Amino acid sequence: MSAEIKLCLIVARAQNGVIGKDNDLPWRLSDDLKHFKATTKGCPVIMGRKTWESLPRRPLPGRDNIVLSRDGQYAAPGARVFTSIDAAIETARALAAAAGKSEVFVTGGSAIYAAALPFADRLYITEVATTLDGDASFPAFDETDYIETRREAVAASEKNEFAFIIRTLDRRI
């Protein structure tokens, strides 16, 4: 039953694929953070140890937080720690099923996106209208494996440093 729960990646990327710099987000996009919060609400979230450490407030409230580290002793108060992506996804799906949710989320960073992408059912990608320097990127993938099922444009404003488009891509069956 829990295999029916979709594995979703949620990311904001620049036009050159950059998602982070110095273990932080390279932009301030208030409406994208709202989108992230609303989309992942109540669902398990899986993230790498570095992304966990980058969170201004952790654990992310109202969600089961799962952290991946190769150090099985790593302490992440308020989160479950796993050393394998497979075990993390399996546990996330079980938690989602118990909570009556139909999605689990991989929330980065680039190492964890790369590990999870082959198994992803759905991608929530915020395409940020800029190109910038960074040290973390979203992995390249074949977009023809997916069909775009939603697209919403958001303008740059005082709250959003750059314009962006929120896209949902569902894997073709």
Ligand X SMILES: NC(=O)c1ccc[n+]([C@@H]2O[C@H](COP(=O)([O-])OP(=O)(O)OC[C@H]3O[C@@H](n4cnc5c(N)ncnc54)[C@H](OP(=O)(O)O)[C@@H]3O)[C@@H](O)[C@H]2O)c1
Q: Contact positions toward ligand X, by CB under 6 A?
A: 11-12, 19-21, 23-25, 47-51, 54, 68-71, 74, 83-85, 107-112, 115, 136
CB of 140 to ligand X, least distance (A): 15
CB neighbour list of residue 110: distance below 8 Å, 6 or more residues apart: 19, 20, 136, 137, 138, 139
What is the identity of the amino acid at 6? Answer: K
For residue 59, cis peptide bond before it (omega within 30 degrees of 0)? yes
- CB of 124 or CB of 146, closer to ligand X: 124
How far apart CA 39 and CA 130 sit, in angstroms, is 23
Of the pair 100, 118, the CB lying nearest ligand X is at 118
Q: State in angstroms the smallest separation of the CB of 111 from ligand X.
A: 4
**Phi and psi, residue 121, nearest 5°:** -95, -30
Residue 137 token pair:
């990127």
Determine the residue with CB nearest ligand X: 109
Q: How far is the CB of 14 from ligand X (least distance, A)?
A: 9
Question: In terms of Cα–Cα distance, which of 54, 48, 59 is closest to 110?
Answer: 48
Least Å distance between CB 118 and ligand X?
12
Closest CB to ligand X among residues 74, 141: 74
Residue 74: CB minimum distance to ligand X, A? 5
- Tally the C-alpha atoms within 13 A of residue 152's C-alpha that lie toward its C-beta: 8
Residue 49 or 101: which CB sits closer to ligand X? 49
Question: What region does 117 belong to: left with phi over 0, alpha with psi -120 to 50, or beta?
Answer: alpha
Of the pair 105, 146, the CB lying nearest ligand X is at 105
